[in-house]
Amino acid sequence: MLEYGTNDDIALIIDRFENTLQNNRHQYFDVEEFIEIIEYYFDNYEFNNVLNAIEYAYNQHPGAYEIQKKEAELYILSKKADKALTILNLLGASNYDTELLKASAYLIKSNSELYNKHIEFCLNESREQTFDSIYKIAISYLSLNKWHDIAIKFLFKSYSINSTNTFVLNDIAITYERIKNHKKAIVYYKKYIDTDPFDETAWFNLASVYENELNYKKAIESYEFSITINPQYQPAYLNIASIYIAKDEFIKAIDVYKEFLEFSEYKHEVYCLIGECYERIKKYDKAYKCYTKALKINQKFADAWFGLAMIKYETEVYFESLYFIKRALLLDEENEEYHFELGNVNYKLEFYSDAIKAYKRAISINPIDAEFSYTLSDLYYKLNDIDAAIEILLKAEQHIFDSAEIKYRLAFYYAFINNIDESKNYFEQALKLDNSIFEEILENFSDIQISKSIKDFIKKQNNNE
C-alpha cells in the first residue's frame, strides 16, 4: 500500500487537482499523487470526486495498475460487483489486495463458495501483512455495520499477529453483539475487561448484552460497575432505570433518576422521566409537580406539557387536558402521539369531528401504528358509519399486515353488513394471529348479531388451533 504524504502535502495536491478541474487546465500528476487524491476522496466519502479523479488519472496513465484497483474498489462500494470483477480479472497475478476485493465482490453477489476461496487466500497471505493493515481492513468492514463474518476473521487474524493490542478483543465482542451472538459477545467483553477493568464503556457494553439476554441482575451489576468507574456516566443511569421500568419497579427507577438528576445538564428531561414513573403508579400529584418543575426550567419542553395533559386526562379533567395537549402541539406539531391523545380527549368531550381530525393526523404521520387506525374505526362504528370504519381499516392493512385487532374489527364489521365470506376470511386470519383476544374484542362488539354460520366457523377455527 502506498504511503501518504503529510497532511499539508495532500492538501496542496487536492487544491492543485481541484483548481485543474475548475479552470479546465491540463496539469500532470504522477500515479502516486492520483492514489493520494483518490484515497482522500474515499476517506471523505466523496465518491463522485473519486470517479472524477479516476477518469482524469486514466487520461494521463491509461491502464495504470494501482488506478484500476481503485476503480474496482469504487465499484465494490457502489455494489457493482460484476464491473469490479471485470477489472480485477484483467489485473493478472493474484495478490492480497486484489483477492480481498474479489472476496468482497462475491459477497455482494452472495456467492459463498467463491467468497470463501478468495477470503481464505487473503487470510493465508495476511502473515505477510502488518497488524495495522489487517486491523484496518477489519475495522473498515465493522464500520459498514455489515459483512461481520469478514470483520471477525480479520479481527482474529490481527489479534494473532499482535495479542498485546487488547482493543481487538473489544471489537470482536462488538461484532458478536451485532450479529446477536450474545454468549460469545459476553466472553470477549469479559476477556477485554480482564485486561482493562477500568473501561466504563466496556462494562456498559457488557451490561447491554446481559440486558438483551434478559439477565437483568447481571446487567444492573455491570451498569453499576460503569458508574463506579465514572460516577457521571449518564447512559448507565438511564439503562438501569429502564430495566426497573420494564420490571414495573417504578420506585427503584425513580431513585436512579434522582441520582442522575444531581449532575444532569438536562434536568427538565429527567423531571419528566420521574413524572412518567409517578404517573405509572397513579401518584398523580407527584407526577404533576415533576412536570411543572420541568416547565419552570424549560417552558418550551413539549413532553412536560404533554405529561400534564395525560394527568388531567387520567383524572377526567378533560378541558384542562385539552388545553395542555394543545400547548404541547404548538411546540411539536409532528408528534403523532400528541395528535392521537388529542383525539382521545376530544372523544371524551364528544367533540367527534375534532377527534376524527386528530386521529387522521396521527395516522398520516405514522400509518404503521395499528392503534391509531382501529381507534378511529371504533369511533366511526360508534357514529354508525360502518363504511368509513371499514375503509379506514382497509387502508391500514396496506401498511400493517399482522394486526389481529384490525382483522377482528373487519370481521365484525363485515358481519354487521352481512358479508359472510369476508367476515369468515377476516375471522380466520385474526384467530391465527391471536385467538386470546377474541373474547375481549367480542365484548366491544356485543351488539353485532353474528350469524350461526359464522359462530360455527369461529368454533371450528378455534378447535383446529
Residue 219 has a pLDDT of: 97
Average pLDDT over residues 159-164: 84
The proportion of the chain whose per-residue pLDDT surpasses 70, expressed as a percent, equals 94
CB 106 within 8 A of CB 81: yes
CB 172 within 8 A of CB 159: yes
Residue 112 has a pLDDT of: 73
Average pLDDT over residues 272-290: 97
Nearest to 264 by CA among 241, 289, 245: 241
Judged by average pLDDT, the poorest of 105-114, 247-256, 270-279 is 105-114
d(CA 229, CA 224): 9
Report CA Rg, the chain. Answer: 31
CB 442 within 8 A of CB 450: no
With a CB cutoff of 8 Å and minimum separation 6, the contacts of 258 are 274
Q: In this predicted model, what pLDDT tens digit does every residue of 318-376 receive, in sequence order?
A: 999 999 999 999 999 999 999 999 999 999 999 999 999 999 999 999 999 999 999 99
d(CA 73, CA 143): 16
Residue 312 has a pLDDT of: 97
Judged by average pLDDT, the poorest of 14-23, 288-297, 317-326, 363-372 is 14-23
Residue 19 has a pLDDT of: 86
With a CB cutoff of 8 Å and minimum separation 6, the contacts of 195 are 166, 169
Q: What is the 3-state secondary structure (H, E, C) of 88-124?
A: HHCCCCCCHHHHHHHHHHHHHCCCHHHHHHHHHHHHH
CB 36 within 8 A of CB 69: no
Confidence of residue 13 (pLDDT cuts 50, 70, 90): confident
Average pLDDT over residues 386-403: 94
d(CA 202, CA 210): 12
Residue 222 has a pLDDT of: 97
Confidence of residue 454 (pLDDT cuts 50, 70, 90): confident
| pLDDT value at 82 more than 60 | yes
CB 37 within 8 A of CB 17: yes
Distance between alpha carbon 85 and the CA centroid of its chain, in Å?
33
Residue 50 has a pLDDT of: 87
d(CA 382, CA 52): 64
Mean residue pLDDT across the chain: 89
233 CB neighbour count, 10 Å cutoff: 18
Residue of 366 and 462 predicted with greater confidence = 366
| pLDDT value at 423 more than 70 | yes
Q: In this predicted model, what pLDDT tens digit does every residue of 222-233 receive, in sequence order?
A: 999 999 999 999
Residue of 370 and 149 predicted with greater confidence = 370
d(CA 136, CA 224): 33
Residue 465 has a pLDDT of: 54
Residue 189 has a pLDDT of: 95
Distance between alpha carbon 437 and the CA centroid of its chain, in Å?
30
d(CA 244, CA 311): 22
Q: In this predicted model, what pLDDT tens digit does every residue of 113-148 receive, in sequence order?
A: 887 788 778 777 766 567 777 787 777 667 666 667
Q: In this predicted model, what pLDDT tens digit does every residue of 395-405 receive, in sequence order?
A: 999 999 889 99
Find the farthest-apart pair of alpha carbons in the chain and give their distance in angstroms, rounded: 88
Residue of 101 and 221 predicted with greater confidence = 221
Confidence of residue 158 (pLDDT cuts 50, 70, 90): confident
Q: What is the 3-state secondary structure (H, E, C) of 248-272?
A: CCHHHHHHHHHHHHCCCCCHHHHHH
